[in-house]
Chains A and B, each alone.
Chain A
């Protein structure tokens, strides 16, 4: 019983170690000397050698890579992500400030899309090739094919500018959340609809569904009791993986609606080469993503009695 847990923790540790190494190592992709480039970027003019030396010493960039990485990692494990280059705040504070907006957006988008996608997917599958199915398939196709930043501007144009129903940008109120959540949720809803439909179609073909029918069970119960429960098992995994899609999408949607969140923080930091902030945001999203998937695997155990102790086949 203990072994699967230990194995899982073991592989999780390896993955997290790799994630941290990659996150820290990213700044060394900077063309030329990182310190020089960063200073150049920040000032807009070439820095002097002395300034570069001072910057290196201040941020520990003069040490060998292994030493730098280990000292960064030690700090991170202690909960200290360092100080931003371009502002005086610590990265921790910046993350705490920006996180709630992104969480709010992600949750709203996921809630909206799941509430819409699961029923539509089921109905599509049950009434395969009906007009409902065709329409929802077409809408879903448009949904997955639309660039979300473009959808955001269309919504701003129609809802905010023409109708004046919501603010065009910013955050804070529910009205501020509506358009970003729809923008971010559309792609997800489209993916989940298609997925639920495919999964349902597969399950509706399964022999145990015929068994249920042959028992004399009502069709509605055949669908919702016997088929849906099984069809949701793969959907749960994918929705967990889609959390990454939501995080990615949030970056762009926040920029479109100028919401102060992790996405805008990341984009600004990337352009300003404010590496401690970049590292902080990347590490946070990766950890959040990995942990979500671990939670999904736990949900899996609850949903599928065939899986015990977290082993999945």
Chain B
């Protein structure tokens, strides 16, 4: 019967899977529970606030983040410069606001790349099993054999210091955790009766993966990704601090701390302010992730995937 292979009308690509997920989580009681979860509200609020600052902040500040004003060097916090100025007379608050754009954008893009690569590999390994699984999991083992920052540092260093190369480095190293989590969840779901039922009425493998397996693994992936955003902000700042990421005069939080370390005693705000900014961002993602985990993933994702980057 040729009908069997005809594309069904309620066909679904990955985007419809995501749409279904969004629909379910916005229409259901779960979403309401989500908003009653104080961690989700606090973390989500903090992250939204930072995102808004990153987007509209530059409009609000009268200063240019890179323009030097040597007559206003190393000024302490004042009304004109709430967080003081740096060694080149640039407004620290302004540079922080621009820095938020860099950090958030980097974190979001790197996380997205990790999610796509890791989820695909995890799905393939878990669903196909056998030799494919064995080979992909060895690949994961190899990636995980390197301490995250060490590998990212070397990749970024060899490619040459730049923000783009930090992005590449961070994307290359973090996907393995997703692959593991997704594979584990696929294995747990694969033999559930609802997947077997789908096989029984002749659903082809690709559609089983998309329609039944992918939605079941999305929750833990969303939780892991949220926490991962925080870790990436930290690692990216670390790489920039070492001089591998954003190059001066680009305003970036890690670079700002690196630039301020020579004035630790005379202008402590140069190190303190960006540090607090990084910390708030990471707290936002961590708290949101914790809350989402309570709401979306009652089985609890293993904590092991957070210390890594």
Contact = CB atoms under 8 A, between A and B. Distances in A.
A145 B283 contact: yes
Contact of B303 (A29, A153, A238, A266): A238
Interface centre among A18, A29, A150, A286 (most CB of B within 10 A): A150
B82 interface: no
B68 interface: no
A147 B279 contact: yes
B221 interface: no
Contact of A242 (B151, B230, B307): B307
Interface string B266-297: 00100110110011001100110000000000
Contacts of A31: 159-160
Nearest to B258: A149
B238 to A, nearest CB: 5
A15 B138 contact: yes
Interface centre among A147, A202, A267, A281 (most CB of B within 10 A): A147
A282 B151 contact: yes
Contacts of B145: 15-16, 18-19, 286, 289-290
B159 A248 contact: no
Given A149-B257, A238-B303, A252-B238, A19 B282 contact: no
B142 interface: yes
Interface residues of A, number: 59
Contacts of A11: 138, 141
A154 B155 contact: no
Nearest to B237: A147
B148 interface: yes
Using C-beta atoms within 8 Å of the partner chain, give the interface range for chain B.
35 or more
A270 B153 contact: yes
Contact of A150 (B151, B230, B242, B278): B278
A141 to B, nearest CB: 6
B264 A153 contact: yes
Contact of A145 (B159, B242, B282): B282
A266 B237 contact: no
Interface stretch (A69-77, A93-101, A191-199): A191-199
A278 B283 contact: no
B225 interface: no
A251 B150 contact: yes
A242 to B, nearest CB: 5
Interface string A145-173: 11111110110110001000000000000
Nearest to B159: A29
B154 interface: yes
Interface in B57-91: none
Interface in A20-54: 22, 26-27, 29-31
B271 A150 contact: yes
Q: Which 9 A-B residue pairs are closest in the complex by CB-CB distance?
A: A270-B157, A248-B149, A150-B275, A18-B142, A145-B282, A244-B147, A247-B147, A245-B307, A145-B283
Given A156-B264, A198-B300, 16 more contacts: A18-B138, A18-B145, A19-B142, A27-B158, A145-B234, A145-B279, A145-B282, A147-B241, A149-B237, A191-B303, A241-B304, A244-B308, A248-B149, A251-B149, A251-B150, A285-B150
7 contacts: A14-B141, A31-B160, A149-B257, A153-B264, A202-B300, A251-B150, A289-B146
Interface of A: 11, 14-16, 18-19, 22, 26-27, 29-31, 141-142, 144-151, 153-154, 156-157, 161, 187-188, 191, 194-195, 198, 202, 234, 237-238, 241-242, 244-245, 247-249, 251-252, 255, 266-267, 270-271, 273, 278, 281-282, 285-286, 289-290
